[in-house]
């Protein structure tokens, strides 16, 4: 394995498609497509436009462009809506933002850290975040009241990191944005229903390496006018975010593969049955949880009663990560006694090793 060559620790990813673990493993067909792209010369401007047409056709969008990540998709979308078709503003973005509208409205509960703060991406684009509501809720009336002549966009984040309680729906935000002719940007980086977000936004942003299981890359799709603004920044700040030809070819193949993707929920549930043996441990209970958003994603939740077991859930998660083989779980709830196992990234034999490690850590004592 290459990881052995460079002295890297082997990782079992039971967390999900997470950037800190390299997001996804990619199919051989995607690797082959990347090799095809990498081993020839291409007029890059033509490739950018042609690949955008292919992506837009699949998504049912007016236009699209492939970028180097979902994060850069946020940056370039906002920079585009600030500078528009003003070539001087594109080239002198940071000097120009002081004289141009640059406010980006966002619910406070959406201003999260997904590995980097959302507001950092807005600021990088020359935008200024205008938070609305509070951490425990936001009303659609608050968003509408925040719109002024300085507003260039409303940014809506779809993520497990975001506050869910008391937040306006995407449909409600879309209605307000349309009413006031304000572009709505939806960051749906990890989402699977791509068409839904295209239909309910002016610019939709997706990761190329999460649901699509392609190389590190991103997609911005939506209105043709706005996509043209984004492309203009290839000669501005977008130069530092350019995507390589091999990644474009790989993402196009990944998109082809995605068209043929079938429902894997039955396979996920079958894999999760292997966790049931952990119910035999004193102080441990295994349940199956569907993804919070209602997607057909199922995870095994391992509940640890710290008053009964030798250690609590946080300690178990720590030991799993720091073993000879690092096992990463979905640990957002570890502080209150549980962690999840996501089967989708697992490779052959991984689930068995997870079970063995949990049994070893907790001492193997049965009820």
27-75 pLDDT, tens per residue?
999 999 999 999 999 999 999 999 999 999 999 999 999 999 999 999 9
- Per-residue pLDDT, averaged over 113-127, amounts to 94
Percent of the chain whose pLDDT exceeds 70: 98
How many angstroms from the chain centroid is the CA of residue 138? 23
Q: What is the pLDDT of residue 79?
A: 97
Q: What is the spatial distance between Cα 90 and Cα 321, in angstroms, rounded to a whole number?
A: 44
Q: Does 274 lie in the same domain as 222?
A: no
- Per-residue pLDDT, averaged over 110-125, amounts to 94
Domain total in the chain: 2
Range of the domain at 35: 25-259
Q: 6 in a domain, yes or no?
A: no
299-311 pLDDT, tens per residue?
999 999 999 998 9
- Per-residue pLDDT, averaged over 209-234, amounts to 96
Does 164 or 253 have the greater pLDDT score?
253
CA separation (Å) from 75 to 6, 10, 69, 87, 169?
A: 33, 33, 10, 17, 23
Q: What is the pLDDT of residue 136?
A: 87
Which residue, 259, 292, 318, sits at the end of a domain?
Answer: 259
Rg of the chain's alpha carbons, rounded to an integer?
A: 22
Does 200 or 365 have the greater pLDDT score?
200
Q: Is 284 helix (H, G, I), strand (E, B) or coil?
A: strand
- Per-residue pLDDT, averaged over 338-361, amounts to 93
Q: Does 37 lie in the same domain as 175?
A: yes
CA separation (Å) from 232 to 239, 314, 328?
A: 10, 47, 40
- Per-residue pLDDT, averaged over 321-332, amounts to 93
**Do 123 and 116 touch, CB atoms closer than 8 A?**
no
Q: Does 233 lie in the same domain as 280?
A: no
- Per-residue pLDDT, averaged over 288-308, amounts to 88
Q: 322 in a domain, yes or no?
A: yes
Q: What is the spatial distance between Cα 179 and Cα 325, in angstroms, rounded to a whole number?
A: 54
CA separation (Å) from 336 to 125, 300, 312?
A: 37, 16, 9
Q: For position 285, which CATH number holds?
A: 3.90.1150.180
Asked if the model's pLDDT at residue 256 lies above 90, the reply is: yes
Sequence-ordered list of residues with C-beta below 8 angstroms from that of 232, at least 6 positions apart, any chain: 80, 83, 85, 87, 90
Q: Does 228 lie in the same domain as 98?
A: yes
Q: 1 in a domain, yes or no?
A: no
Whole-number mean pLDDT of the chain?
Answer: 93
Which residue, 259, 283, 301, sits at the end of a domain?
Answer: 259
**Do 302 and 341 touch, CB atoms closer than 8 A?**
yes
Q: Does 247 lie in the same domain as 168?
A: yes
Q: Does 242 lie in the same domain as 203?
A: yes
Q: What is the pLDDT of residue 366?
A: 57
Q: What is the pLDDT of residue 2?
A: 53
Sequence-ordered list of residues with C-beta below 8 angstroms from that of 332, at least 6 positions apart, any chain: 160, 340
Q: What is the pLDDT of residue 124?
A: 96
Asked if the model's pLDDT at residue 3 lies above 80, the reply is: no
Does 118 or 192 have the greater pLDDT score?
118
**Do 219 and 210 touch, CB atoms closer than 8 A?**
no
Asked if the model's pLDDT at residue 5 lies above 90, the reply is: no
Query: What totals of helices (H) and strands (E) does the chain contain, helices first?
Result: 15, 12
- Per-residue pLDDT, averaged over 274-282, amounts to 94
Confidence of residue 282 (pLDDT cuts 50, 70, 90): very high
């Amino acid at each position: 394995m290459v990881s052995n060559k460079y002295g890297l620790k082997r990782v079992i990813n039971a967390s999900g498609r997470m950037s800190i673990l390299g997001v996804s493993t990619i199919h051989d067909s995607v690797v082959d497509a990347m090799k095809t792209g990498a081993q020839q010369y291409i007029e890059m401007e033509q490739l950018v436009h042609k690949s955008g047409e292919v992506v837009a056709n699949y998504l049912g969008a007016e236009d699209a462009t492939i970028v180097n990540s979902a994060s850069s998709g946020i940056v370039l979308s906002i920079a585009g809506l600030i500078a528009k078709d003003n070539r001087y503003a594109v080239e002198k973005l940071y000097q120009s933002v002081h004289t141009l509208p640059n406010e980006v409205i966002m619910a406070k509960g959406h201003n999260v850290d997904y590995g980097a703060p959302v507001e950092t991406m807005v600021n990088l684009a020359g935008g200024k975040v205008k938070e609305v509501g509070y951490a425990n809720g936001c009303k659609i009336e608050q968003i509408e009241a925040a719109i002024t002549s300085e507003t260039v966009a409303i940014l809506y984040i779809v993520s497990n990191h975001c506050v869910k309680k008391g937040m306006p729906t995407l449909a409600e935000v879309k209605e307000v944005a349309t009413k006031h002719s304000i572009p709505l940007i939806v960051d749906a980086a990890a989402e699977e229903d791509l068409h839904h977000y295209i239909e309910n936004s002016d610019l939709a942003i997706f990761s190329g390496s999460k649901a699509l299981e392609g190389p590190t890359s991103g997609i911005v799709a939506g209105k043709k006018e706005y996509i043209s603004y984004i492309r203009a920044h290839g000669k501005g700040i977008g130069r530092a975010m350019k995507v390589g030809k091999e990644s474009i070819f790989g993402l196009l193949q990944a998109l082809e593969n995605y068209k043929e993707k079938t429902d894997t929920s039955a396979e996920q549930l079958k894999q999760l049955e292997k966790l049931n043996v952990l119910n035999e441990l004193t102080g441990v209970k295994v349940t199956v949880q569907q993804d919070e958003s209602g997607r057909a994603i199922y995870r095994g939740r391992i509940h640890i009663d710290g008053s009964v077991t030798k250690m609590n859930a946080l300690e178990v998660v720590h030991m799993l990560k720091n073993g000879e083989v690092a096992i990463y779980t979905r640990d957002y709830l570890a502080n209150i006694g549980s962690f999840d196992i996501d089967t989708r990234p697992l490779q052959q034999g991984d689930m068995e090793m997870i079970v063995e490690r949990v049994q070893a850590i907790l001492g193997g004592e049965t009820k």
